[in-house]
Amino acid sequence: MGKVILNVSMSLDGYIAGPNHSVSKGMGEGGERLHHWMFNNTHPIDAAVLKEIFDTSGAFLMGRRWFDHGENVWGPSPFNMPVFVVTHRKKASVVTGNTSFHFITDGLESAVRQAKAAAGDKNVTTGGADLPRQLLKAGLVDEISISLIPVILGNGIPLFDATIRKQIGLERIGLVESPEVTHIRFRVIKNGQ
Amino acid sequence: MGKVILNVSMSLDGYIAGPNHSVSKGMGEGGERLHHWMFNNTHPIDAAVLKEIFDTSGAFLMGRRWFDHGENVWGPSPFNMPVFVVTHRKKASVVTGNTSFHFITDGLESAVRQAKAAAGDKNVTTGGADLPRQLLKAGLVDEISISLIPVILGNGIPLFDATIRKQIGLERIGLVESPEVTHIRFRVIKNGQ
């Protein structure tokens, strides 16, 4: 059974998108800075990090807002794997290119269970901010992989916030440095293990 | 002339101390987790990082709150260099052990100027949160050295906050990993340089 891995690009001040995030400004003002490494002259080290994420992921978990922001922009979806969208609003599954989107309305644990079943031996990857925080609080994240971007955004959508309200121990299990990005991987310590 | 370097231990969620920070709970609830690496069975790699900070620092800059919290706790001060305390309240200089504390009431730039003069060829080191944020906003920080601690605190005193309100570019110029801590050093990019 695979792991649930939070994979996200984050500024040094903890933002995963800039302020005034909207459909037309997908990453918020200045937030596209966080994803340069994936889209602009990607360095081979960064390309290898990205490839490994996709090669080892068998399903993706996202929140409804991400789906809503993305669906008009994506065209053929880049995921190429089943995507489970955690939402309160029912919706029939959507297939675009090699990606199927399934809308899960009966809670986080059900979404994780279904994503794990779809992923088989591979991992379930998640991203965003609201959903990862909920998963973290529920003890449903096994690893956190941060691509730390050398910028202070000063404002935007934080990955972590005061709703977490408890100390979560981590163990660094991987570190890859490209010329620009510091990719750091942590295992979440559960029940002292 | 030396540089002004912000040197701080930070949790993955951006806190430099836990919640309910007070004189009796110097690092806030759970916040002492951030400084294990300095005080509890310090690994030789971490010890070398600490030694380099002290060897290359000729003066220290701190906010008044840090001084007030520390002065009853320190006994012989651990700084062994001139410390410049930025404050609105005048106070005569204090000498304890090999450390002198000077209280600067005429602003940030004056404090930086006096600290640089005292440091000579060495660097001016600063820490805390309020003062570093003010220095960053004023363009007075040359380098940021984060000792990233593998923990999510969930609450506490953030290093960065929304008062920064502008994007600050960084360049990673150093990375040292001990078994526990990821020490990452950034140069602050000023005016596109």
The alpha carbon of residue B3 and the mean position of all alpha carbons in its chain are separated, in whole angstroms, by 13
The residue ranges of chain B whose pLDDT is under 70 are: 22-26, 71-76, 192-193
pLDDT of res. A161: 87
Partner residue opposite A164 with nearest CB, options B30, B152, B182: B152
The vertex-B96 CA angle with B107 and B21, nearest 5°, equals 65
B142 has a chain A CB within 8 A of its CB: no
Cα separation, A62 vs A86, in Å, equals: 6
Determine whether the interchain pair B148/A184 forms a contact, defined as Cβ–Cβ distance below 8 Å: yes
pLDDT of res. A122: 98
A89 has a chain B CB within 8 A of its CB: no
Task: Copy the structure tokens of residue A46.
Answer: 């960064």
Cα separation, B131 vs B145, in Å, equals: 15
B180 has a chain A CB within 8 A of its CB: yes
Task: Find the mean pLDDT for residues A116-124.
Answer: 98
A74 has a chain B CB within 8 A of its CB: no
Determine whether the interchain pair A151/B172 forms a contact, defined as Cβ–Cβ distance below 8 Å: no
B160 has a chain A CB within 8 A of its CB: yes
State pLDDT tens for residues A40-69.
Answer: 889 999 999 999 999 999 999 999 988 888
Q: Where are the beta strands (DSSP E) in B25-167?
A: 57-63, 83-86, 94-96, 99-104, 123-126, 143-149, 151-152, 157-158
Kindly indicate the confidence band of residue A187, based on its pLDDT and cuts at 50, 70 and 90.
Answer: very high
> 């990005």: which residue's tokens?
A181
Determine whether the interchain pair A167/B33 forms a contact, defined as Cβ–Cβ distance below 8 Å: yes
Q: Do the beta carbons of residue B141 and residue B6 sit within 8 Å? A: yes
> For residue B45, which residues of chain A lie inside 8 Å, CB to CB?
none
pLDDT of res. A24: 60
Kindly indicate the confidence band of residue A26, based on its pLDDT and cuts at 50, 70 and 90.
Answer: low
Beta bridge partners of A85: A62, A103
Tell me, yes or no, if the pTM score tops 0.90.
Answer: yes
Chain B residue at shortest CA distance from A18: B167
A139 has a chain B CB within 8 A of its CB: no
The Cα-based distances of A79 to A121, B151, B154 in angstroms read 18, 30, 31
Instruction: Report the percent of chain A where pLDDT is more than 90.
Output: 72
For residue A2, the number of C-alpha atoms closer than 13 Å in the C-beta half-sphere is: 25
Cα separation, A129 vs B49, in Å, equals: 33
3-state SS, chain A, equals CCCEEEEEEEECCCEEECCCCCCCCCCCCCHHHHHHHHHCCCCHHHHHHHHHHHHHEEEEEEEHHHHHHHHHHHCCCCCCCCEEEECCCCCCCEEECCEEEEEECCCHHHHHHHHHHHHCCCEEEECCCHHHHHHHHCCCCCEEEEEEECEECCCCEECCCCCCCCCEEEEEEEEEECCCCEEEEEEECCCCC
Task: Copy the structure tokens of residue B99.
Answer: 């450390």
In chain A the domains, ranked by start, together with CATH numbers, are 4-188 (3.40.430.10)
Task: Find the mean pLDDT for residues A112-123.
Answer: 98
As a residue count, chain B comes to 193
Best B6, B144, B149, B172 member to test A by mutation, with max A CBs in 10 Å, is: B172
> For residue A171, which residues of chain B lie inside 8 Å, CB to CB?
150
Q: What is the mean pLDDT of chain A?
A: 91
- Report the complex ipTM: 0.93
> For residue B168, which residues of chain A lie inside 8 Å, CB to CB?
151-152, 154
Among A153, A49, A42, A180, which residue's Cα sits nearest to residue B175?
A180
> For residue B146, which residues of chain A lie inside 8 Å, CB to CB?
12
B45 has a chain A CB within 8 A of its CB: no
pLDDT of res. A72: 63
Q: Where are the beta strands (DSSP E) in chain B?
A: 4-11, 15-17, 57-63, 83-86, 94-96, 99-104, 123-126, 143-149, 151-152, 157-158, 168-177, 182-188
Determine whether the interchain pair B184/A180 forms a contact, defined as Cβ–Cβ distance below 8 Å: no
State pLDDT tens for residues A131-180.
Answer: 999 999 999 999 999 999 999 999 999 999 888 888 999 999 999 999 99
Beta bridge partners of B124: B4, B59
